[in-house]
Structure 1
């Protein structure tokens, strides 16, 4: 397969150009042996048109008629990859990438997607540089048996809503399980796969029980897994407490540290329970485990929880440290480490989320604050990288869904052993993740585009 990047020029109809004719640079046509003045198929996403190609002495350009451009969803100046399949007599442009977003704020033209708007702009720029076209669409635009979709794209300094073909690749950035499980959303995704061969990645949210149950099937991953079960009853709590002095109870679908409860056995069989609240951390002391259970039983009935072995984590000035690895598939489709950062919990907090006062640090700095020597820091950093890749491959093997990126939360105990805390299939992209001050495109965003090109065979 051959490809090159061209700029799209939309021109008024003429003797040479109508909605069934496209004009291609003479040099590109000659290089890729695109026949001139012969009927062929033009593809862009799911859109297929019978056209003829004529050539002209213009540089790296594809000229199209306004009607055809409108049907395709191409805008003036768009940069797209082009390749010609001689056997199929098909000229393809793209890739066309669709991003599922949760909502559109019609009254906010500068931030139509709320906190994720800056990421969408960044992704648009990365796509332009890579010769891809990207658009963004919420659940209400998804319909069964759709042949096109109304979506938002950024060009000419503003966001506009247009009609596009079904894309080659869909990246799921829905931030709510409720949206993800809507019948129209599920039907749209099924039809896109079946009818148009669309590749969909990060198809669904993961929950903590699903991840630990799946990874437990791979014996090579046991070294990373603290004892962890779907919470059932007081008998399970008592059994876990007999084996581990500290336990964590985590909502299986929770995020940002919401709803986490830590139970710790103190001297004299007294138990303390720490729980995250909107205002900080609530601490309660109980004369027995059964009394602690009675106090939290209401929460445990309100939603499903995972009970997990507490770990003797490294700390910085008494504040727990953990690590977030962003693992992505790139240009070859293989898992690779994009970044690993240390996260230090805020004062009086036992979870490290930035939303709860945590702070970011480089891995070496976090390990130095925990008191490790330079040699040990280097060894632990390697262990963190290996663990992240091993776990990503385990998720790929054991969970039957397609993921292109994972946020993998890891911990290091005081002996230097690496543990898995949780896996997130929707790592945060909103404005609080600090886009680069110099406006450069982050490696994580470039990698997303590379993977989309890989899937679409562009």
Structure 2
């Protein structure tokens, strides 16, 4: 098999750490092992080093004496693992000149994803009630006793708030402040100006809070990693559970949540047979979401989906992560699945280099 280059596009901060191997949870060793299995050489890029006019880029490539910065032709296939602010067109420009960039965008507005999925009649029953704006908040308060307020473009659980009805007159607002849960009383007839300003700025969505199944008294959801592989087909690489901290409502690992094997969490909440059924159902829902989104999001190939499961066995789509934080599999004690999350994209990259279509 002929050795070929594949680009791994990183944010500037991670790219800066490549020579020292300090790239956070982006495992260079996993990229290199996976790429080698498919006859690929990973070339670590950042957008500002790619010159579309000349067709060349500087990149870090590992050699016998460590990582060396070299000038190479722009790789014909690039896996995007960087996050750019809205309006950045760098990956689109690369695609326009014929480079196959997969996961072209790695961050999507939660409202955009919800809108796209709501167009699919088969997925509607898996979508939580969702509104925006202060009027939407008031409508949701009339309809549901428990709400989640989440940033449209937030990640790793930052900025998420919970509003819950205490009684017929009052509500409680829960939020994290400096790693500590804060709860304040809210008068529904006179909502705080600071809260309404955030909501009306369009930066927040309001959703019904799903009454999640619990493991040991801790609510959990499932992270389902869905990726394209060799041959171009979508496949579920794996799934794990994210448990909220005791007394918390946010399951994100970066906000104090804990990763656990999906079977462990599910069997804490349900009989073994039902747990196995729900695990397969969550995987099937993940595939259905990927197949739906691919029609509207060019280059989509590698996503992490949060799937919620209620105590009575109903599945809900919660969130789509365009840059899946793969380390959850490692923290859940699933190192081979963690490595698979690197192998699948490299298999897909080889498929594209062999002439496969996106």
TM-score of the superposed pair, with normalisation by structure 1: 0.72
Aligned-partner Cα distance in 2 for 1:300–1:307: 8
Residue by residue over 1:61-93, the C-alpha shift from the partner in whole angstroms, topping out at 9 and shown as x without a partner, is: xxxxxxxxxxxxxxxxxxx1xxxxxxxxxxxxx
Residue by residue over 1:343-399, the C-alpha shift from the partner in whole angstroms, topping out at 9 and shown as x without a partner, is: 1111232111111221112222111222x11121122112111111111111112x2
1:115 aligns with 2:48: no
Match among 205, 208, 232 for residue 309 of structure 1: 208
Deviation at 1:429, TM superposition (A): 4.6
| Gap runs ≥5 in structure 1 | 6-79, 81-93
**Residue 179 of structure 2 contacts residue 255 of structure 2 at CA under 8 Å; is this kept in 1?**
no
Structure 2 SS opposite 1:291: coil
Aligned-partner Cα distance in 2 for 1:300–1:113: 38
Aligned-partner Cα distance in 2 for 1:430–1:213: 29
Deviation at 1:316, TM superposition (A): 2.3
CA RMSD of aligned residues (A): 2.6
Deviation at 1:224, TM superposition (A): 1.0
Call closer, same or farther: CA 1:123–1:108 in 2, change over 3 Å: closer
Aligned-partner Cα distance in 1 for 2:258–2:332: 16
Call closer, same or farther: CA 1:356–1:441 in 2, change over 3 Å: closer
**Residue 220 of structure 2 contacts residue 241 of structure 2 at CA under 8 Å; is this kept in 1?**
yes
Aligned-partner Cα distance in 2 for 1:416–1:307: 23
Aligned-partner Cα distance in 1 for 2:335–2:160: 36
**Residue 104 of structure 1 contacts residue 112 of structure 1 at CA under 8 Å; is this kept in 2?**
no
**Residue 327 of structure 2 contacts residue 338 of structure 2 at CA under 8 Å; is this kept in 1?**
no
1:219 aligns with 2:121: yes
Call closer, same or farther: CA 1:237–1:436 in 2, change over 3 Å: closer
Deviation at 1:299, TM superposition (A): 3.6
Count of residue pairs brought into register by the alignment: 354
Higher relative contact order, chain-length normalized (CA < 8 Å, sep 6+): 2
Q: Which residue of 2 aligns with 1:359?
A: 258
1:324 aligns with 2:223: yes
**Residue 116 of structure 1 contacts residue 431 of structure 1 at CA under 8 Å; is this kept in 2?**
no
Aligned-partner Cα distance in 1 for 2:262–2:336: 24
**Residue 97 of structure 1 contacts residue 132 of structure 1 at CA under 8 Å; is this kept in 2?**
yes
1:247 aligns with 2:147: yes
Question: Aligned runs of 1:430-445 on 2, under 5 Å?
Answer: 434=331, 442-445=339-342
Deviation at 1:315, TM superposition (A): 1.4
Aligned-partner Cα distance in 1 for 2:317–2:334: 32
**Residue 257 of structure 1 contacts residue 276 of structure 1 at CA under 8 Å; is this kept in 2?**
no
Structure 1 SS opposite 2:51: coil
Residue by residue over 1:21-54, the C-alpha shift from the partner in whole angstroms, topping out at 9 and shown as x without a partner, is: xxxxxxxxxxxxxxxxxxxxxxxxxxxxxxxxxx
Q: Which residue of 2 aligns with 1:59?
A: none
1:273 aligns with 2:273: no
**Residue 259 of structure 2 contacts residue 331 of structure 2 at CA under 8 Å; is this kept in 1?**
no
Deviation at 1:121, TM superposition (A): 2.7
Deviation at 1:303, TM superposition (A): 5.9
TM-score of the superposed pair, with normalisation by structure 2: 0.91
Aligned-partner Cα distance in 2 for 1:170–1:120: 15
Deviation at 1:150, TM superposition (A): 0.5
Match among 383, 394, 398 for residue 281 of structure 2: 383
Aligned-partner Cα distance in 2 for 1:276–1:315: 21
Match among 395, 407, 431 for residue 304 of structure 2: 407
1:236 aligns with 2:136: yes
Q: Which residue of 2 aligns with 1:282?
A: 182
1:349 aligns with 2:257: no
Aligned-partner Cα distance in 1 for 2:165–2:331: 39
**Residue 251 of structure 1 contacts residue 259 of structure 1 at CA under 8 Å; is this kept in 2?**
yes
**Residue 260 of structure 2 contacts residue 332 of structure 2 at CA under 8 Å; is this kept in 1?**
no
Call closer, same or farther: CA 1:439–1:429 in 2, change over 3 Å: closer
Call closer, same or farther: CA 1:440–1:271 in 2, change over 3 Å: closer
